[in-house]
Amino acid sequence: MAVSPALLAQQLSDRKAAGEKLAVLTAYDYPTARLLDEAGVDLILVGDSLGMVVLGMPDTTGVTMQMMLHHAAAVRRGVQRATIIVDLPSGSYGMPDMAVHNARRLVEAGADAVKLEGGVDVADQVRAITQAGIATSDTSACCRRA
């Protein structure tokens, strides 16, 4: 059941205030995602680190949207309960409209939320994605799609 970004943010804030810990781990494939979900992990990240960890790239800058879509879909197939957060790869969110377009693609592939890096520099992109009803994390918070 999808939870609105505001409701999930409140739930996470309440858990933090109560001293509860959240389990957040990374998965890039179906079997790992399934194991993490069955183990009770709260949030599963499909990170652009897959470029180095899975694909042998020297860094994350070569990771494409197509790669992230492929791995997001594989992870989604393995998850029944956990929230899935998927990285928007470098170069996929330079402008707000581009960020919304690519965030929607990741949601269609199975993301509950998208993560992007840049803090204040990506505030317009975060705002546009959130206004489109997609949860975002600018490396400091995470929420779920509406």
Tens of pLDDT along the chain (146 residues) come to 455 667 777 877 888 899 988 889 999 999 999 999 999 998 999 999 999 999 999 999 999 999 999 999 999 999 999 989 999 999 999 999 999 999 999 999 999 899 999 989 999 999 999 899 887 765 434 333 33
Structural domains in the chain, sorted by start: 5-137 (3.20.20.60)
The pLDDT score that the predictor gives to residue 139 is: 46
Euclidean distance between CA atoms 87 and 136, whole angstroms: 10
The pLDDT score that the predictor gives to residue 5 is: 67
Longest CA–CA span in the chain (Å) reads 41
What separation in angstroms does the CA of 55 have from each of 51, 60, 122? 5, 10, 27
The pLDDT score that the predictor gives to residue 1 is: 40
Are 67 and 50 in contact, with CB atoms under 8 Å apart?
yes
Euclidean distance between CA atoms 84 and 75, whole angstroms: 8
